[in-house]
Structure 1
Amino acid sequence: MTRGTRRARTWHKADYDLQRQQLREGAKVLDESRKAAVEQVRGDTARFFRDVCKLTPFWYQLELAQLYRENQFLAVRWPRQTGKSTSIGALLLQDAYENPDLYIGFIGPSWRQTKLNIRRVASFCRNLPAQDVRVQKTRISFSNGSIIEAFPNNPDTVRGNTFHRLYWDECGFTPNDEDLYDAILFTLGTTNGKLIASSTPFNSDSLFWKMCNHRDYSDFARHHFTYERALAPNGPLSPEMVTRIKRQFGDDPARWRREMEAEWAEDEDVWLAQSLIVSCVGTAKNCGEDLQEFNPEASYEGEFFGGLDLAQTRDYCVFAVVERVNDRLLLRHLKVFSQPTKYTHVLGYIKALQDRWGGFEKIRVDFTREGPSIISDMENAGINNAEGVNFSVPRKSEMASLLKQRMMDQRFFYPLLTWEKPYRGDICSELNVERYELRRDGAVGFSHPNGTHDDVFWSLALACYATVTMGPEPFLSVVPRIANRLSKIRKQLVRRKMLGDTH
């Protein structure tokens, strides 16, 4: 035998059986110790959170548990980053584990959202006895007969089940919320079951607003607090985190009020109303499928159009892809590139996506700063059908108006996207960031609050604009005597366009 080498160990069947038996006994001991530990915290939410879920139980989570025990309907309105979904998921896990034969449903604006919540709860199950729980992608089953299961936003699917508990996450961002609520009442009626609805406030004409404010929904227990009450040591928010969030929101007090004070707020001069934005979250009910973002690493076939909003340092470079299906536009992909942006990386990403997805019918690119050279760079990189758009005042008005009209006509839908990098954002807030004003010449000017970003908004507008023919930019020469009259006519046309009256 060569020096330095070791002889491979020979395993006999007896050795294998012994090792296997020892592993089984070790697993049994571990399972028994876990079972004993869980039994010790039975009925004690604070200890269940701490020992099983490994969560620090703050005062507001214990208040929530008390309200959950005492009420049938509960509306939860907490600031961002305080753990709404995590806390409610842990609470329902305790309920399912300790009480037999409960059927608990998770619903939300999208299938993706509900599966994410199931995944959160599944992460807590590793501290439960393995023999007592079985985790699947959309379902968690318990040995006592209880089940936690995720469901898409489809009233017909919900109505066909009999639930003892229902958790409705991001209720305020759910399109067709009244239809879904009717189905929920039917399915809870036979069991006298409980409903927990939670959300960040958004549009004030939503069902969630009624749950939290209207006298007709006085049977809802309401749990609400602002970020000040969740600052350390009373909550997970540190002053540094709050300062960072405030810097991200910039000069957008309405968003700060919604997300950190958990109150309703909307500026009057936003281009896209909150109710319009929520109505275009794609579900099986309004667009025929529960929209989910396509995997950029996979291959797809379709009629795809792209919108590329370029930036390098101060703003973000964003690429949006929509697919035209039966005269409807469906958002299939949204990529926000990190700063500082290198255009070689952006073009490489688009080229790879083009090759995987069979090409783009058209890509509209904001080349206001870079000029035609960026289109040449795209062509040299092998990217086809790219066309530059100069962001002049009339052209921006044309694109923004087309986006708004497609949404009002229910011809543009998107999944309920959220992202943590390169900054924390979600598609509804990004669409709600753009402001407008009527200028003295009758044109519409667009802007966004300082410290915020409108790159996602314009990439989506460009993608929708890629589906139509771009005509020459309008030019009018006005003689002084009729300038005032023409200005009035322009203002009337702009108002009609904003109201959706194009006739």
Structure 2
Amino acid sequence: MPESVRGRIDRYHRDLENEREREEAGKRPLTEETDVVEFFKHLGFRPTAYQEKLLRDKSKLILARWSRQSGKSLVMAGVVLFNALTQRGFRAAIVAPSLRQSRKLIDKIDRLISRLGIDVLEGLPRKGKLAFRNGSVIEALPNSPDTIRGETLNMVVADEFAYIEHDKELYDAIIFTLSTTNGPFFATSTPGSRDTLFFGMATDDEIFGDFSRHHVSYREALRPNGPIDPEFLERIRKQYQTDPGRWTREMEAEFADDEDAYLPRELIESCVMDNIETFTREDVIGGRLSRTGKFFAGCDPALKIDHSAVAVVEKQAPHIYVTQVTAFPQATIFSNVTGYLNLLNERLQTLSRIYIDETGLGGFFVQDAVKSGLKNALGINLSLPEKQKIMDILKRQMQDGTLHIPRDPELMNEMSNERVQLSKTGQLQFSHPAGTHDDRLWAVALAVYAARNEITPYHPVAALGKNPNYIGPTFDLRRLRLGVGPFNTSNPGDPPWTIANNRPWNIRRW
């Protein structure tokens, strides 16, 4: 039976009323709580002292370096949900090392919503996205700068930020998404590698001094002050007995050297000297550099993935000082690097030797460098035995206290991230973690390798009237006669006799 006119009018009226109620609800906060700590309690949780400190932090850049099982994810879920409920049209993004991990935090927020006892979502929750009746949205996004770029967000949480690849590019994209809203950025994680942006945010006061930092170890999180059970802690402690670095990172929330790191952080720090007379690439290109001394250089050329790097050391026997390390942008053409080496050769009037990695395409680079006028350039084939020899010399100089480096965070991170493993053949294999580089390190190692022995500075033959690099005998070859016999040589150190055409020749007296 068709619906009557009156019935259609009543239904239309009800729809209008429902729509008006939704609009009115969208204008009102979805929770009566106005304090985030009270809201956390309303959800049924009693925040610890360190959790309350983070909940009340109003900073725009916040770093949470917390141990495992300290309640970090719960607090972040509470912070994001509170802002979504109290701000109309609030937009938050969650990023993590993988989309699956980002969605785990979304699931935690969804479980908190069930504790509210009221319907706050617009429709059913979708995988990785929560849409609220007040127009707020919380979404899990891939950890890709291209995905984030172009968004306008009120808050971004980067969970396990120490383990996100391309963290620098992602952070740049995130900052721009928050630029118009002036919203907060949360970087939360247990410590990982030192060659990460998270390490810089946690330790570099000069660049990241505006970050509000929260550090929580297992000690602060033990019951009754936190959620960690002492029995659970002892089980974890036993499991990590053979992996102290992991215990340091995950339970003490401190940065630690991996057991397979070739150069311990403490050794690197011991080589840092603040008053080294360094110079920059701009000094070289701009012509402001004019130095005398005993200089040696190392070059690690690269094409697309890595950076071409050049390092210069000054030798004041027995000490060696790293005076400059420069890394060129990725995909820099070889001719630019060669041109820079020629400028170095010109500015440093006593650049004795340039050692260049000639492995792979580096062989062509060395040939072009010599053709361009770098007669003091020498190619080094970085085979496994040669790498071991070069790195052994570098490490010995550091241990002896004769190698001094400037406080260059990028160089120091590359040094601390170099890994070593023993191969089946008994040779050391060097590597670096995925997403990191070691170009600066090898440039420095090659420069130190070049400086290990004194090398006679190069002088043109025309300037001296003879070849100063001649290593043959100093006696007059016209004085040779066939046979061997007693005689006196004219110059100390001359051989008493020589071999030519498989026959001995004696030096005649005049």
Q: TM-score, normalised by structure 1?
A: 0.46
Greater Cα radius of gyration, structure 1 or 2:
2
Task: Choose between structure 1 and 2: higher helix proportion.
Answer: 1
Q: TM-score, normalised by structure 2?
A: 0.46
